[in-house]
Amino acid sequence: MVLTSFVEVQPDSHFPIQNLPYGVFKPEPGSEPRPGVAIGDYVLDLSVIASAGLFDGPFLKNSDCFNQLNLNKFVGLGRPAWKEARVTLQKLLSATEPTLRDNPSLRQKALVSMVKVQMLLPVVIGDYTDFFASMHHAKNCGLIFRGPENPVNPNWFHIPIAYHGRASSIVISGTDIIRPRGQGHPTGNSPPYFGPSRKLDFEMEMAAVVGAGNELGKPVDVNEAADHIFGLVLMNDWSARDIQAWEYVPLGPFLGKSFGTTISPWIVTLDALEPFASDAPKKNPPPLPYLAEKISKNYDISLQVFVKPAGQEDTCIVTRSNFMHLYWTITQQLAHHTINGCNLRPGDLLGTGTISGPEPESYGCLLELTWNGQKPLSLGGSTRKFLEDGDEVIFTGCCKGDGYLVGFGTCSGKILPSPP
């Protein structure tokens, strides 16, 4: 029988009792941020549940991790505490459990209507790294930026490639993005231009939120890496392709990426995603032993990107992809990140890289979808090579269970013009 909650959950909701993703919210504009979990159209206030003494297991009983302004302390406690919280909350919210169901005053304090709350970044992100783990994306970018000779660099099949991103400009879904200015790639013999980016793009990604960290000098074994990942969010790695193409040789992305990165507010835990695990693609050549995992898995998360063009009422779908298309898994990414002794800390964010599938309809950014502007997309009444001021980009992702969904909600942002 499918587990159900006493809180009414619509069949198309991303947040049934099987999900219970974590976020940080303000119930009212003036109130303090606090951790919560999403259930149907409500947010369960975990500070209220903790104060009522309802986290009574060994890891959470005497912890103040839910009386914090962010989730760093909770995610840093590690998997045993996450499991305990999930069991406690699933029981508390289930249709057959009277504790909260039959206590109207506690229910009124603890369950806040989702439309009324303001969502904030769920964790303080100390460091952010962005991988490059979809082979289809790597190949398409290679063809566009470097030509058909060697589109995928030979190192790519041996090493999960990444660059260090900028944590300070990571923003929560719904935050406007200001078109960056910078030096643009010259054409032919012309000098570089300076001004508002002419090739502003989105990148459809997901990101792993690091839970328990590792000590400096102590790499994480790939087979234990999942214990260091609390969960996943949707992520838009906004990219200015003209700035990027000119600046990235030889040190990689810099100002073409660091002006803004958007994440969705709800962290869906690996425990909630487990029923949707799928085999990761076979690696050829086989990876080095430190990256060879006993169980190599992805998750079947279908991903969609919509654009609402400036001035238009209608939102148009521009891509359909799936998390399953990643070549390097998130556990291989995490193990690789620490193999030199680098320490990860609770709340660090590891972007997967753009998740492109094999078909053109599943490409994860406009660079690929329009082939660097050569094949404009038609969007209702208008066409786009890249994003224009006023365009809004909306990502969504979800897993289809038997009679329920486990979803991520949305990750959106609107482009504002560059400053004059």
Q: Looking at the annotation, which residues are catalytic?
A: 137
Q: Residue 200 and residue 177: Cα distance in Å, rounded?
A: 11
* 260 lies in the binding site for ligand LGMQ2O6W (CB under 6 A): no
Tokens standing for 403?
A: 């009679």
- Complex with Ca ion: residue 184 or 364, whichever CB lies closer: 364
- Per-residue binder mask for ligand LGMQ2O6W (CB under 6 A), 218-257, x = binder: -------------------x-x--------x----x----
- Complex with Ca ion: residue 130 or 368, whichever CB lies closer: 130
Give the residue numbers of the binding site. Answer: 130, 132, 146, 203, 205, 237, 244, 248, 257, 261, 354
347 binds, among Ca ion, Mg ion, ligand LGMQ2O6W, none (CB under 5 to 8 A by kind): none
* 203 lies in the binding site for Ca ion (CB under 5 A): yes
Size of the site for ligand LGMQ2O6W (CB under 6 A): 14
Minimum Å distance from CB 237 to ligand LGMQ2O6W?
Answer: 5
Give the residue numbers of the binding site for Mg(2+). Answer: 237, 257, 261
- Per-residue binder mask for Mg ion (CB under 5 A), 187-226, x = binder: ----------------------------------------
- Complex with Ca ion: residue 164 or 400, whichever CB lies closer: 164
Q: Residue 75 and residue 72: Cα distance in Å, rounded?
A: 5
* 237 lies in the binding site for Mg ion (CB under 5 A): yes
- Complex with Ca ion: residue 24 or 232, whichever CB lies closer: 232
- Complex with ligand LGMQ2O6W: residue 130 or 392, whichever CB lies closer: 130
* 368 lies in the binding site for Ca ion (CB under 5 A): no
Q: Residue 339 and residue 221: Cα distance in Å, rounded?
A: 8
Residues of span 256-285 touching Mg ion by CB under 5 A? 257, 261
Window contacting ligand LGMQ2O6W (CB under 6 A); options: 72-80, 135-143, 179-187, 276-284: 135-143
Indicate which single residue of 84, 237, 242, 348 sits in contact with Ca ion (rule: CB under 5 A).
237
Secondary structure (H, E, C), the chain: CCCCECCCCCCCCCCCCCCCCEEEEECCCCCCCEEEEEECCEEEEHHHHHHCCCCCCCCCCCCCCCCCCCCHHHHHCCHHHHHHHHHHHHHHHECCCHHHHCCHHHHHHHEEEHHHCEEECCCCCCCEEEECCCHHHHHHHHHHHHCCCCCCCHHHHCCCCEEECCCCCEEECCCCEECCEEEECCCCCCCCEEEECCCEECEEEEEEEECCCCCCCCCCCHHHHHHHEEEEEEEECCEEHHHHHHHCCCCCCCCCCCCCEEECCCEEEHHHHHHHEEECCCCCCCCCHHHCCCCCEEECCEEEEEEECCCCCCCEEEEEEEHHHCCCCHHHHHHHHHCCCCCCCCCCEEECCCCCCCCHHHCCEHHHHCCCCCCCEEECCEEECCCCCCCEEEEEEEEECCCCEEEEEEEEEEEECCCC
Tokens standing for 99?
A: 């504790």
* 137 lies in the binding site for ligand LGMQ2O6W (CB under 6 A): yes
Q: Residue 351 and residue 304: Cα distance in Å, rounded?
A: 17
Window contacting Ca ion (CB under 5 A); options: 57-65, 177-185, 197-205, 282-290: 197-205
Indicate which single residue of 84, 127, 130, 247 sits in contact with Ca ion (rule: CB under 5 A).
130
Window contacting Ca ion (CB under 5 A); options: 123-131, 190-198, 222-230, 320-328: 123-131
Give the residue numbers of the binding site for Ca(2+). Answer: 130, 203, 205, 237
Nearest CA among 6, 8, 123 for reference residue 74? 123
Minimum Å distance from CB 253 to Mg ion?
Answer: 8
What contacts 268, CB < 8 A, 6 or more positions away? 19, 21, 231, 232, 233, 406, 407, 408
261 binds, among Mg ion, ligand LGMQ2O6W, Ca ion, none (CB under 5 to 8 A by kind): Mg ion
Indicate which single residue of 129, 236, 354, 410 sits in contact with ligand LGMQ2O6W (rule: CB under 6 A).
354
* 258 lies in the binding site for ligand LGMQ2O6W (CB under 6 A): no
- Complex with ligand LGMQ2O6W: residue 130 or 391, whichever CB lies closer: 130
* 201 lies in the binding site for Ca ion (CB under 5 A): no
Residues at the contact surface with Ca ion, assessed by CB under 5 A = 130, 203, 237
